[in-house]
Amino acid sequence: MIGGLGKGLAAFAVSPAFSAGSRPLTLAATALEDPTTKYPKPPFKQQVQPWPALASKMDPKPDHGEKSYKGSGRLAGRKALITGGDSGMGRAAAIAFAREGADVTINYLPAEEADAQEVIQLIKAAGRKAAAIPGDLRDENFCKKLVDDAARQLGGLDILVSNAARQQIHKSLEELTTEQFDWTIKTNIYAPFWLIRSALPYLKLGSAIVATASVQAYDPSEDLVDYALTKAAAMNLVKSLAKQLGPKGIRVNGVAPGPIWTPLQVAEGGSTPDKSFGKKTPMGRPGQPAELAPIYVQLAANEGSYATGQIYGASGGDGQP
């Protein structure tokens, strides 16, 4: 009897795939890719743009998933606000979210309007509602208005991606003025606090908050003192808020990129001009924003329901916390 039962269960387990009138499921093979040669490697062309710089003028241009990202409806009907959505990880997330079925509002600085309009067109091309709201996140009143306007234009809000940040190189602490320090702190710490606090009344059960941290949070460079400390703060904000908001069914997570090819790397003062950017990683190259897009999607999607208080890294092999 036991043997017969075992055979019956085995037959039941496989029968759905081979039932009468059906055919076995066949999928096209996915070609393997060499991650070390998938994207451009250094040396790069020496280039500097006026701060904050535009992705559209970089050589080579960063890949945000414009041609490569394919959606599957994982965020259908969702409504997202992404700061720094004109370029870098914010742009990659905006494209991916739209192709996964979400309506998206992006925030950016007025000087980045050209890049932002490219993103808006990509969101609309995906058949989703798009809104563009330029402005400086150092202004508390603007942060509140940004959230309210995004929720009004999208008809709600259930994903907040706090991604915008300021990064400037200072070789010594003596070079770092109080004004510059305050600019970094306001953009990278105050703004996420204002944005999240303003968004909470809109965020329902099942909503998600995603912050962009950095490898700098736990392996800081000597010339990014102020920036690194803000990214460590972002990492702790994620872990603390996850405990506070978990009982309310709101998840809070972070993404910690390593060296990624974005306008930060060519903006005047944003980084030390370096034609070998990314060469020291085990991959031998910098990452592209498109390579992080799936992480942002996973952290916003319902499938990631048990992930909160987590920091997801993508640094080409340099290690994570």
Domains of the chain: 53-314 (3.40.50.720)
What residues contact residue 252 under an 8 Å CB cut-off, 6+ apart? 208, 209, 210, 211, 238, 241, 242, 245, 308, 309
Q: For residue range 85-99, list pLDDT tens digits in order.
A: 999 999 999 999 999
pLDDT at 52 over 70: yes
pLDDT tens for each residue of 101-118:
999 999 999 999 999 999
Q: What is the pLDDT of residue 112?
A: 97
Predicted local distance difference test score (pLDDT) of residue 275: 80
Query: CA 245 to CA 309: how far, in whole Å?
Result: 10
Cα distance from N-terminal residue to C-terminal residue, the chain: 53
Residue 29 binned pLDDT confidence (cut-offs 50, 70, 90): confident
Q: What is the mean pLDDT of residues 171-200?
A: 97
pLDDT tens track for 136-155: 999 999 999 999 999 999 99
Rounded Cα distance between 105 and 160, Å, is 10
SS3 for 208-232 is EEEEECCHHHCCCCCCCHHHHHHHH
15 neighbors 22 (Cβ within 8 angstroms): no
User: Does 28 score more than 90 pLDDT?
Assistant: no
Mean pLDDT (the chain, rounded): 91
- R_g of the chain, CA atoms, integer Å: 22
Q: Is 24 helix (H, G, I), strand (E, B) or coil?
A: coil
Stretch 254-277: mean pLDDT: 89
Cα separation, 253 vs 297, in Å, equals 12
The angle that helices 293-300 and 88-99 make with each other, rounded to 10 degrees, is 60
What is the per-residue pLDDT across 215-229, written as a single tens digit (0 to 9) for each? 999 999 999 999 999
The pLDDT of residue 23 is: 60
Beta-bridge partner residues of 313: 256
Is the pTM of the predicted complex or chain greater than 0.85? yes
Whether the predicted pLDDT of 14 surpasses 70: no
> Is there a catalytic annotation at residue 108?
no
CA 244 to chain centre: 22
Check 69, 108, 227, 312 and give the catalytic one.
Answer: 227
